[in-house]
Structure 1
Amino acid sequence: MADVSRLPDFNDPIARHCRVDQPLLRADMTVEQALGAIRQQGLGERIIYFYAVDEHDRLAGVLPTRRLLTAPPDTTLGELMVKRVIAIPATATVLDACEFFVLYKFFAFPVVDADRHVIGVVDIGLFTAEMLEERDENIAAQADEIFEALGFRLSHLRGASAWRVFRHRFPWLLATIFG
């Protein structure tokens, strides 16, 4: 059974649930320098995107991992990064973050303070890890509530046949691929 204290409360500040093990890269670095910095700093538990900061350590862009790994070594991150970054404000709640995942369909978001300094990263794992395995009735209801906010009821998928799960999830998969 999942630890109740680990399940997010909708009203919790999202800053309490951020991962801070994500390396931040300078936008003026080359790919070669960035990869060296990543090797030196180490990687966090899960890396979905890398985030670039400017000379004042403010969020400047997002680097999809594939783009970073396949670019020529002398390319600057500023040339590669996506400059229009959607970030969750540190003042947001878990429910607000859930809405970001529903609206924008990304797997992770940086969490920033009022000056756009990155204070951490929140990924979709916050809403799935413990909840998918939950057996306790009260916590299962809370998990259903969160997944309902994401667009489907988890209780419909528990114990369902593979075909039913596929039919329920396939439209979401298509939306992700073509969206």
Structure 2
Amino acid sequence: MIRDAATLSQPVSRHVKPVETTIQADLTIADAIRSLRSRKIGQTVVYFYVVDGDNRLVGVVPTRTLLLEEPTRAIRDVMIGAVISINADMTLELALELFAMHRLLALPVVDADGRLLGVVDVQLYADETFDLAESRRRDDLFQLMGVSLEQARHAKAILGFRLRMPWLTANIAGGLICAAIGAAFDDVLAKVVVLSMFIPLVLTLSESISIQSMTMSLQFMHGRDVPWKQVRQRLNREWKTSLLLGVASAIMVSTVALLWVRGGSVAPVGVIGLSIAATMVFAAMEGALVPVLLHAARLDPRLASGPLVLVLADILALTTYLGLGTWWLL
């Protein structure tokens, strides 16, 4: 179990386990399965790593592929070539970062020439063993791993301050930008007071749907590369869902807003309803895209997405709301 920074600085080579389930790249699927069955495998089977004749790591084969692909196909043709691995001289801290970031159950360890030395698995973190098929237990472990890493790194208050203050600074900057936007539209707020009453609600709905979309995008940001096909499908589904949610929310809020303008102009109610529908779509798309763009830039979307998504959602929502109000009502 990780308890201090000294443990994190240990080389990962001290925790390497041998791999009993390697497969030669030049074998067929049928030959690979026969080879695996002939061995006395005593460890938990997590991944099937593929090596060449010099024991260099060249890929990984999913269990599904071994079971369902044609037995005559070559392992080299069906393996996944992009394998996340670590060098033997890297630290335990880096290994645990990769576990938490990519939600992997094991990491292959290679030498300077790319030869497979063994694996480290998530049980180097957990004292107890657990069922790898229990997704809830697995998710809890990854979350706890991230918390323990940060606690070990930032045991001192000043280090914790340095870790967390940048994100609070981002929120402060976003708030100041929104204050400036409000000042730029002070004419419409002064003349149509009812608009100012609904600013908190417009921002809350925008923030909520942006965080929902962000959370769903993070679920498939695991590998090294961005799954652009999934991203396109996700965005296509998200704008439709957010439009339905926006329209439903706009109808409910507009109905309540009518009570405040009873006997007066209903134009502000139209601004409120249309703004809610539009900002919820904008915020949902922004929340879905930010993790993708951060991942494409090789930044950790789990660390940076939250503050950035909220700040952008507030700016988009307030600008749309007050801009539409100025255009329509003044």
- Structure 1 residues 151, 80: closer, same or farther in 2, change over 3 A? farther
Give, in whole Å, the separation in 2 of the partners of 1:15 and 1:122.
Answer: 9
Aligned residues: 144
Aligned counterpart in structure 2 of residue 178 of structure 1, from 205, 214, 220: 220
5+ long unaligned stretches in structure 1: 133-143, 153-172
* Corresponding residue SS for 1:12: coil
**Which of 43, 47, 50 pairs up with 1:49?**
47
Distance 1:149 1:54, change over 3 A: same
Identify which of structures 1 and 2 has the higher relative contact order when contacts are C-alpha pairs closer than 8 Å and 6+ apart.
1
Structure 1 or 2: larger helix share? Answer: 2
Sort the Cα spacing of 1:26 and 1:174 in 2 relative to 1 into closer, same or farther, 3 A.
Answer: same
Paired position in structure 1 for 2:267 = none
Q: Secondary structure at the match of 2:38?
A: helix
CA distance in 1, matches of 2:19, 2:129: 23
1:67 shift after superposition: 1.6
Unaligned runs of 5+ in 2: 131-142, 152-214, 222-330
How far did residue 99 of structure 1 move?
1.1
Compute the RMSD of aligned alpha carbons.
3.2
Counting strand residues as a fraction of each chain, which structure ranks higher?
Answer: 1
Return the offset for 1:175.
6.8
Residue 67 of structure 1 aligns with an amino acid whose one-letter code is T
Deviations for 1:25-73, whole angstroms, at most 9, x for unmatched residues?
Answer: 1111011111111112232411111111112221110111222222221
Secondary structure at 2:30 match in 1: helix
User: For the residues of structure 2 that align with 1:56 and 1:21, how far apart are their CA atoms?
Assistant: 15
Task: Provide closer, same or farther for how the CA distance between residues 27 and 42 of structure 1 changes in structure 2, counting only shifts above 3 A.
Answer: same
Distance 2:68 2:116 in 1: 25
**Residue 145 and residue 10 in structure 1: after superposition, are their counterparts in 2 closer, same or farther (change >3 A)?**
farther
Instruction: Give the 3 Å change call, closer, same or farther, for CA 175–105 of structure 1 in structure 2.
Output: farther
1:88 aligned residue: 86
Letter matched to residue 75 of structure 1: R
Q: 1: distance between equivalents of 2:129 and 2:53? A: 40
In 2, the alpha carbon distance for the partners of 1:177 and 1:44 equals 32
TM-score using structure 1 length: 0.68
Secondary structure (helix, strand or coil) at the match of 1:41 reads coil
Compute the TM-score of the two structures, normalised by the length of structure 2: 0.39
Change over 3 Å in CA distance of 1:73–1:145 after alignment to 2: closer
* Counterpart position of 1:161: none
Aligned to 2:320: none
73, 76, 84: which one aligns with 2:74: 76
Question: Is structure 2 residue 147 aligned with structure 1 residue 148?
Answer: yes
Q: What residue identity is the alignment partner of 1:78?
A: R
Superposed displacement of residue 78, structure 1 = 0.6
Partners of 1:87 and 1:47 in 2: CA distance: 17
C-alpha separation in 1, matches of 2:78 and 2:42: 22
SS of alignment partner, residue 67 of structure 2? helix
When residues 50 and 174 of structure 1 are mapped into structure 2, their CA distance, relative to the original with a 3 A threshold, is: farther
Partner of 2:57: 59
Q: Offset of 1:145 from its aligned partner?
A: 8.4
> Contact between 2:93 and 2:149, CA under 8 Å: does it hold in 1?
no
Matches within 5 A, 1:29-40: 29-40=27-38
> Do the aligned residues in 2 keep the contact of 1:58 with 1:118 (CA within 8 Å)?
yes
Q: Percent of aligned pairs with the same residue?
A: 34
